[in-house]
Structures are given as C-alpha cells and as structure tokens.
Chains A and B, each alone.
Chain A
Amino acid sequence: MPANVRRALLLVPILLVVSFLVLPLVAIFLKVLSREGIWETLQRPLVTQALRLSFITSLSSLLLAVLCGTPIAYLLARCRFPGAALVDTFIDLPMVLPPAVAGVALLMTFGRRGLLGPWLDLMGLQIGFTTVAVVLAQTFVSAPFYIRAARAGFQSVDQELERVAYTLGHSALSTFLRVTVPLAFPALLGGAVMAWARALGEFGATIMFAGNTIGRTQTMPLAIYIALQSDLTAALVLSAILVLLSFGVLFCVRLLLRRSPFGAYA
C-alpha cells in the first residue's frame, strides 16, 4: 500500500473522532441561530435565575474546594501516615460515584431524616432543598478534581526548595505562599478549572439532594432539563452559554499558562 494511502486511511478514525466531538456542539449553535426570539428568551426568569444561581453556587463550591482542599492536598503530598492510601481512595471516590448515588448519600447525611438531620433541626438549620444543598452537592462531586490536581502539583515541587526557604528565615506559611504555591500554580489552576467545570455541570446529585426550585436550587443544567420539555429555545440558549463559557475558560487558562513565567517549567 503506498504511503499516502496509508496516511489517508489513518485520517479516517481521526476525522470520525473529531467530528463526533465537534458536531454536537456545532448543532447547538446552528439550532440556536435558527430560532426566533433569542434575546427575549435570554431575559426570561427561568434563564436569568438559572444563570445567576449557577454562577453563585459553582464559584462558592470552588471556593470551598480550594479552601478545604489545599491543606488536604498538601498534607497528602508531603506527609506519609498510616491509612494514606485509604484517605486517598475516599477522596477520589466521588469522581467515580454515579451522581445520583452522591445525591442519595448527601440526603441521608444532611436531609431531615439523615444522620445529622436531628442535630441540624435542633439548631434550626435546614439544608436539604436549599441553595446550600446545591453548593454541598457541587462541592462533593467537584472537590476531588481539585484535590487530585493540587496534590500532584505540590508533589512536583522539590522539597529542597522549601528547606532552603526555611534556612533563609521563612516560616512554613511564608514558604508555602512564596515558593510552593507559585511553583504548583499551573496544577492548582488546572485543578480549579476542572473542579469548577464539574460543579457547573452538576445535575444528578443536585436534583436528588437540592430539588428543582427556580431561583433557589435550579441551576443551569436543571433548567435545561426542564426547558427541554416545554421551551426548546431556552434549553438551547442555556446550552450554548454553557458551551461558550466552558470553552472560553479552558482556552484562557491554556493561554495564561503558556504566557506565564511558570509555564517554562510546568
């Protein structure tokens, strides 16, 4: 077989895969553009409320994941302790768990009839079917993405650099902020983006644990699901926004990492 034919044959699966990935996205935009009243749809409460709520909850869960996940990731990267493998597995578990199971699990923990339900009741707190529940559901499924990436990032930072910083008079915290974090930054950013994207797309756990109330628990994926049955335009518009947002963020991070001085040894 001549070389150019072999090369052409190789092109077939590549084209198949690429078009399989790209075509559905193109379809969304073609369908959106063929619709009337896109602007009006954008201003409907279903759409605006979902946008607002998704924005707030996904950023809140990201903040939670970064604040709580960073110390855990550092600990896992630097300390050897008995049961580390077990802790590791538990942290990774939500990534492979079906979201519906995560939803049930959260309900059985924080719901009114859950493990912590009576205590939360006593304190006058209700979590199930509130915005807090949305944030918890998103954090539960997305934090592992950040923690995993952060741990790998911290592990890649030479401990000798930290030791030198100590001998130069810097405290553990100062060393962490001036040496470890800057050097692990590409990994931290990458993990944060993955976690945020996962939180933004969270559907299963949210609908089980937080329900589907406009303005309180109906995030964009939920709104898309509801709209698909009654208002195709709204579903398409929301989908298009999610696609653009995801692409934009991924692309910006790529550019940022390439241009930043850290990129050189990331």
Chain B
Amino acid sequence: MLEVAVHKRLDGFRLDVAFTAREELVVLFGPSGSGKSLTLQAIAGTVQPEAGRIVIDGQTVYDSAASIDLPPQARRVGYVPQHYALFPHLTAGANIAFGLADLPRRERERRVAELLTLFDLQGLERRRPHELSGGQQQRVALARALAVQPQLLLLDEPFAALDAPLRGALRQELAQVQTRWGITTLLVTHDLADAFALGQRVIVYDGGRVIQQGTRDAVFFRPLTRRVAEFVGTGNILPAVVEQMTAGTLWLQWQGRRIAAVPAQFVPGTPVYLCIRPTQILIVRPDRLAERERENLLCGDIVGTLMQAETYTLHLRLDESNTAYDLEVALPGYVYHRLSLESEKRIMVELRRQVLHVIPRDAGA
C-alpha cells in the first residue's frame, strides 16, 4: 500500500501530485519533464517537498503537517535511477555489497554471493560497471537495491538505456524479479509499451499533475480526457455529438454517420470524443458479412499504410469524406497479407460498441 501526496516547486516547475496504490507494480507514466522522477526522489527522500504526505506500507516517511521527514537512510527504499548509477569505481560485487557495510564481513560475503546467484551474475563480481552489458548492469543495480531488503522499490526509466530487443526481455525479467521478491514497485516510464506491459496500476502524469490513475485497463481503455487518450495511444479520437439515448443504445453523430455505443449518461447535443484503439477495429470480409449481426459498419479506401515490425497501420478514408483520412486501423502483418491488402484498396470495417469509449469533450484540459 502506497500513499503519496507531494507539492514541490523547483526552477519554475510545479509538482502537485497525489495518488494511492494497493497494487504491487505501479507505473508512473507520462511525457519527459512531467515530474515523475522528481516524485521518485521525493519518495526516496533525496528531495524535500514543500508539503505533502508519503506513507509506505503503513509507515509514514514524510508528513509536512506532522513534521515527519525521515532521511533517505531510514526510509528502506530501493532506488534505481535512470542509467542505474552504479558506482563506477567499484566492482559489481562491491556495488551489491555497498548497502551492507554494517554487516560482519562473513555475513556480507554470503549475502552478496546469494544475490549474485539469484541475479545470474556469477563470475562477474570482479567486473567494473563499464565492463558489463546493459542487462547485467540492470541486474547489478537491482541486486544492490534489494540487498538492503527495502519495503519499496523505485525504478526510474529502467529500460531507457537499452535497445528494443533487450527491452522486451528485461521487462519480463523485471516482472519476474518483482513477483519473486513480492516487493511493491514503483516504475517511472514515458514508454507506452513499458507501461502497458508492466503496470498493474497506472498513474498518468502531465505537467506536474496526475491526470488519471487507475488499473491498467481503466487507463488504457477508458481514458477520462482527450489528453490521457492521446498519451495511451488511443489512435482514433473522433469528435462526435450525442444524438439520443434509446433503449440500450447511445446514438452518436460522427461526420454525418450514426454510431451506436454502449449507453452512458449524456444529454443529447453534448460534444464528445469517440475513442477507439486502432487494434480494436475489425476488418470485415465481404464473404463473411452475413455471419452475424454487424454494428457500425463503415466503408472506405486505404489511403496510406504504415508498416512496423509486427503491426501494420492503415489509414482509412471513409466514403463521402473529404479529410486526409478518418480512421487508423491496425492489424498483424500476416492478416494484412492474408486479406491481400497490398492490392485491395477498399475495405469494410466494424466498430463494435463494446470497444467504443465516449468521453465528454470538455473533460479536463
């Protein structure tokens, strides 16, 4: 259980955040410079807030109202900064042993050996940080932080220094470490894939404020504002207007089309954003059109194709539209080829109402 409220001004920047988390893996997600790292430092105790309250598993480490401010040495927080901050003048073994200075030598050596094994670093204890690979450096940093048995692990952009293939592997590794140690972990990232892969709870930062917090699914699939929708890669954020509520359906007007959505409390005429992730739009094959009842069927031309390694993103311009394109549709590469979309220009798509998310246009900034 983590409870954080921090107010802090620094060089014209204002950090004013509050969040709580019961989950074990919590992600602070937002653009660079939105105050995520500063929050970690405030929790670690290396930056002093002007006001606020920080409670880690029932222990108050900072409370401006009660004049509590434990020094970082007493907070039992494992802090792994961006680029790991391994001590360059010490070997991997000495780095891991750094927090164990108070233990008798024998005990210290035993613990270090244990951690070296646990983190698959045997044989590397005499290497200096610059002689280790990025993944090994990360493991040393984790072992060093966990050696002192902290009650909270703080990770600042743990994958920022790594190339894409390694990132995926280390994400899994980190998740395993977290599970094995059962330690509450707060991870800072500006990377959507990191946040999605790891965050059980996601706290969205923007300009020194928390603009949404919730479970991963809530944040990624039900953003509260346009800004959050953009951050979490919603892809299609379409300005629409509420037309009417009928039994079981919320009808929206979007570019002269009627779209059916899941019912919600809206007054007719309310301007809204209709949100749908590119991967959730279904391409309907003409020969299978009649297989079941279809919702929100749209026809259009493919006017652009963006190919990433595994996912292809199509830009779709709907019939009778005069914009550059109206919808982003993403699909796995093999589906793209099976549907022969290299040659086919005209497709039909279905927006299923369960995956449509509607937010009021005046929500937030």
Contact = CB atoms under 8 A, between A and B. Distances in A.
Contacts of B44: 163, 166-167
B98 A163 contact: no
Interface in A217-266: 261-262, 264-265
B46 A167 contact: yes
Contacts of B22: none
Contacts of A161: 85, 87
Contacts of B101: 169-170, 174
- Size class of A's contact patch? 20 to 34
B130 A264 contact: yes
B73 A160 contact: no
Nearest to A179: B87
A28 B264 CA distance: 97
A167 B85 contact: no
A168 B78 CA distance: 7
Contact of B85 (A160, A170, A262): A160
B304 interface: no
A167 B130 contact: no
A163 B73 contact: no
A262 to B, nearest CB: 6
A178 B87 CA distance: 10
A167 B45 contact: yes
- Size class of B's contact patch? 20 to 34
A165 B98 CA distance: 8
Contacts of A160: 81-83, 85
A228 B80 CA distance: 64
Interface string B48-85: 00000000000000000000000111010111111101
Contacts of B235: none
Nearest to B156: A160
B294 to A, nearest CB: 55
B77 A167 contact: yes
A264 B89 CA distance: 9
Given A163-B41, A163-B81, A168 B144 contact: yes
B69 to A, nearest CB: 13
Contacts of B83: 160
Nearest to B37: A160
Contact of A168 (B71, B81, B98): B98
Contacts of A165: 87, 98
Interface string A154-177: 000010110111111111001000
B257 to A, nearest CB: 53
Given A168-B98, A169-B99, A261-B128, A163 B72 contact: yes
Contacts of A168: 98-99, 144-145, 148
B71 A183 contact: no
A118 interface: no
A71 interface: no
Contacts of B99: 168-170
9 contacts: A160-B85, A163-B44, A163-B72, A164-B81, A164-B144, A167-B75, A169-B73, A169-B148, A264-B88
Given A160-B81, A167-B73, 4 more contacts: A163-B46, A166-B72, A167-B46, A183-B89
7 closest Cβ contacts across the A-B interface?
A: A168-B99, A166-B72, A163-B46, A167-B79, A160-B85, A160-B81, A182-B89
Interface of A: 158, 160-161, 163-171, 174, 178-179, 182-183, 261-262, 264-265
